[in-house]
Structure 1
Amino acid sequence: MSDNALRRYLEAFRASARKWGREAWAFLTSMFFLKNFAAMVGVVVLLGFFTFYWLTCYTRLGESVQVPDFTGMPLDEVRELAKARHFELVITDSVFIVGKEPGIVLEQNPTPLSRVKEGRTIYLTVTKSEPDMVQLPTLAGSYDYNQYARKLKRLYLKPRVKERVFDPKQESNTILYLFYNGEKITEEDLKQGVKVPMGSEIEVVVTERGANTVEIPNVVCMTFEEAAFTLTSANLVLGRIEEDDTVFDRLTAYVVRQQPAPSPGARIQMGERVDIWLSQERPAQCPEEGEEY
């Protein structure tokens, strides 16, 4: 391309650019463009404002409330407090705890004193009234009372020695059988599976080789004075004394019942208590004087 042709091309381009610039400026400064641009900006601003306002109302942006500490409180009080603070409550779990009243809050989520939006749902774990059923462990591996008692305590059961039976062939504290609510539970029963409510008392009959134990004396039909002497002579302690309405002279009143009751071979530790029940009238089933009961 010659120099003249190039010069003419550049001049034409400049002229075209100046014309386009004048037209563009005229359009951008025209009332039509300015009105429409202003309308668009207004729409965007209004849309942003309403969006922010809606989000603020819906989520309460920037607002939070402190979660009360509900742990240890009765459920009725928790409901009242939650209602006043506009919280929703959901019980997700319930646990039986020996000695605790039902309906006491144990855990909560969100945690106490944390900050959350108003209206938040609080998830609770509470105590329940009905105890869980637990299966009694078998005697496999050990018949020793102390070891078995530890197993029972881990299941939140309460072991107690009901009776000691003299047996020179076995070690002391060897378990013979159990009792729950007065019903005997044998080793075979345990193998088949026995369930009891958590917190129950389990009575255990164990062996005793004779050291520091005595046979339970039968003091029924004796007068109080005779019974007291018999128990003291056996190195036992006179425990609770219950009198019926007929008693007017304790020394001459008769023993109509005792606890623990005597039975063949039954022995108890020296120094243990024996409770007796008295009546002024001699029980009809008692033998005549001089006869053995």
Structure 2
Amino acid sequence: MSLLNFLKSKTFFKQLILAVVAVFVLTFIMLQWLKVTTNHGEFETVPELKGKSIEVAELELNENNLVMEVLDSSNYNPDYPKFSVIDQDPIAGEKVKENRKIYLTLNPSGYRKVLVPDLKERTFRQAKPTLEALGFEIGKLTYVDNIAKDMVLDMSFEGEKIKPGDMLPKTSKIDLVLGNGTRPTSE
């Protein structure tokens, strides 16, 4: 029997029809299985978590069949309570699949600590922008008798003397002792 005769035979057409039906049946079964295992068309709504404590956020995510993933937080935000959620991804109201990870950024317990620079024997004009660039604030200025006008002679924080290399929270107010430009009188 030649190939051409075989392709025209009833046996070939029966096998071809059976193969096509088998492909359709297998495709249908696979699609139904995928629908069931991937929960096709079923979504969870991401709740609004900003400003809420980590415990409350975890409860809300569990109620919505979502998984919490905490990201490291870098900057303290005084508008939010300590250890509360300051950002989330995906955002609130978005539709996601069940057991989806929701990434949360938490507010740290306070401003990060910054190294106090060496400002002794520098002018106030040099010291002020250096401190402000590091995130510190200039506190009380005290002038004492010293021939070097506006030279930084000492630094303190909350009444305690500080030295270069100490660590203070960002936004701390640093008090400076400056020279007033007059010679100290000796008695």
TM-score, L = length of structure 1: 0.50
- Paired AA for residue 200 in structure 1: S
Please give the residue correspondences for 1:1-293 in structure 2 after superposition, counting only pairs within 5 Å: 20=5, 24-27=8-11, 34=14, 40-97=19-76, 99=78, 100-129=80-109, 131-139=111-119, 142-144=122-124, 148-161=127-140, 163-167=142-146, 169-171=147-149, 173-185=150-162, 189-190=163-164, 193-209=165-181
What displacement does 1:26 show? 4.7
1:108–1:124: 8 Å Cα contact kept in structure 2? Answer: yes
What SS does the corresponding residue of 1:204 show, helix, strand or coil? strand
1:142–1:148: 8 Å Cα contact kept in structure 2? Answer: yes
1:161–1:206: 8 Å Cα contact kept in structure 2? Answer: no
2:121–2:153: 8 Å Cα contact kept in structure 1? Answer: no
Structure number with greater CO (CA < 8 Å, separation at least 6) is 2
Output the aligned Cα RMSD: 3.5
1:119-170 CA deviation, whole Å, 9 max, x = no partner?
Answer: 211112111115422111232894216x534433443334311632234x33
1:5-29 CA deviation, whole Å, 9 max, x = no partner?
Answer: xxxxxxxxxxx99xx48x944546x
Q: 1:155 to 1:76 in 2, by over 3 A?
A: farther
Structure 2 runs not aligned, ≥5 long = none
Identity, % of aligned positions: 25
Bigger radius of gyration among the two? 1
What displacement does 1:176 show? 1.2
Q: 1:45 to 1:62 in 2, by over 3 A?
A: same
TM-score, L = length of structure 2: 0.72
1:98–1:198: 8 Å Cα contact kept in structure 2? Answer: no
Whole-Å separation in 2 of the counterparts to 1:197 and 1:87: 35
- Paired AA for residue 177 in structure 1: D
2:51–2:81: 8 Å Cα contact kept in structure 1? Answer: no
- Paired AA for residue 172 in structure 2: S
Q: 1:77 to 1:154 in 2, by over 3 A?
A: farther
Q: 1:209 to 1:42 in 2, by over 3 A?
A: same
What displacement does 1:52 show? 0.9
- Paired AA for residue 94 in structure 1: S
Whole-Å separation in 2 of the counterparts to 1:101 and 1:76: 13
- The total of aligned residue pairs comes to 181
Q: 1:70 to 1:141 in 2, by over 3 A?
A: farther
Whole-Å separation in 2 of the counterparts to 1:55 and 1:154: 56
What SS does the corresponding residue of 1:95 show, helix, strand or coil? coil
| Structure 1 consecutive aligned stretches of length 4 or more whose deviation exceeds 6 Å | none
Whole-Å separation in 1 of the counterparts to 2:29 and 2:102: 31
What SS does the corresponding residue of 2:140 show, helix, strand or coil? strand
What SS does the corresponding residue of 1:161 show, helix, strand or coil? strand
- Paired AA for residue 74 in structure 1: S
Structure 1 runs not aligned, ≥5 long = 1-15, 211-263, 266-293
- Paired AA for residue 170 in structure 1: A
